[in-house]
Amino acid sequence: MRAIRAQYSRRGPVPETLIEPVEVELPPLQPGEARVEVLAAPINPSDLLTFTGEYGSLPPLPATGGNEGLGRVIEVAGDVDGLQVGATVLLPVGCGSWSTHLQLPARALVPLPEGADPVQLSMLTVNPPTALLMLRQLVPLQAGDWVIQNGANSAVGGYLIQLARERGIRTLNVVRRASAVAAVREAGAEHVLVDGEDLPERVAAIVGKEPVRLGIDCVGGLATERLAHCLGEGGILVNYGAMSGERCMISPRCFVFRDLTLRGFWLAQWFRRANPEARYELFAELAGKVASGALRARVHAVFGIARIRDAVAAAARGERHGKMVLCPNV
């Protein structure tokens, strides 16, 4: 059986010039394997950083793009039990999901609810767990507590708004451009602010004397310090990205006089530490929310694999409202 993969054999500053569709012959199924038709796979910022060589974990070259996605089982090896042909499955992280078909260990595939939107389910592995774990594990938040995040128009930002609202946690949502405000409001955010030097004063006008206990930064640069100045004494500021391309900048005064903590979060580290039961419970919880429609991400456009360069170029542009998703078999 032949498959088409979106492959790259070198790294460089312009991702869309590196990737191209390549036809390959799939080998016969080996014991314990399943053959999967890929239904949908998103294009994430981490994918683009993998092309440029700036991500924390880089696959050997040549490599197939795509770190997450959704598939349908079309064939299983004779010794595979418990996985049925036709099942909808979550693909394992880092499998090279930008492909029409994959052959994978059956035990690495997670069956998901039938009948849900495959595009929404395809985005389950990276951004929803990042949002949920940052809300759940860093600070013991209660209903009514305040959280501030920048990059609120990102996929993680949208999921965080929805997950926080479900728990009664109040969010302050910061964006870098005024044109992004409407989309964040449509995601359910009550408070949306355009970043700027007076951000701490505007935040204080909203929260009054109530402390902001958690700050979530994916921008870096001086945006990190502006978030820090919005936090209450003893607050936690977590960074999970650098959309500005700059290192986090923050004054020692925040640490010394206000007892703030700056730490990082990388989902891959959590996956390495968590046991299989914890990973399964996390995905089951999030899959249920996505399947019910309680958790959704905005989608800007869907592309077939023949247009992978257009898809990557569109994902790299800043002026968009939603995720670019590859549906390889359309």
Residues annotated as catalytic are 55
Q: Is the bond into 62 cis (omega within 30 degrees of 0)? A: yes
Q: How many CB atoms are closer than 10 A to CB 92?
A: 18
Is there a contact between 227 and 150 (Cβ–Cβ < 8 Å)?
A: yes
How far is the C-alpha of 41 from the C-alpha of 141, rounded, in Å? 32
Residue 68 in tokens: 């997450």
Write down the residue that tokens 């990205």 correspond to: 241
Kindly tell me the burial class for residue 277, based on how many C-beta atoms sit within 10 Å of its own C-beta (0-12, 13-18, 19 or more). Answer: exposed
d(CA 322, CA 243): 16
**What's the chain's Rg over C-alpha atoms?**
20
User: How does strand 236-239 pair with strand 212-217?
Assistant: parallel
One-letter amino acid at 239 equals N
Query: Residue 110's beta-bridge partner residues?
Result: 90
- Give all strands (DSSP E) within 182-312, no chain letters: 191-194, 212-217, 236-239, 261-264, 299-303
Could you say which DSSP state residue 17 is in?
Answer: G
> Distances from the Cα of 125 to the Cαs of 103, 209, 253, 286, 300, in angstroms?
19, 37, 37, 9, 19
φ and ψ of 138, to 5 deg: -90, -40
End-to-end CA distance of the chain: 18
Nearest to 96 by CA among 47, 35, 33, 53: 47
CB-based contacts of 269, cutoff 8 Å, min separation 6: none
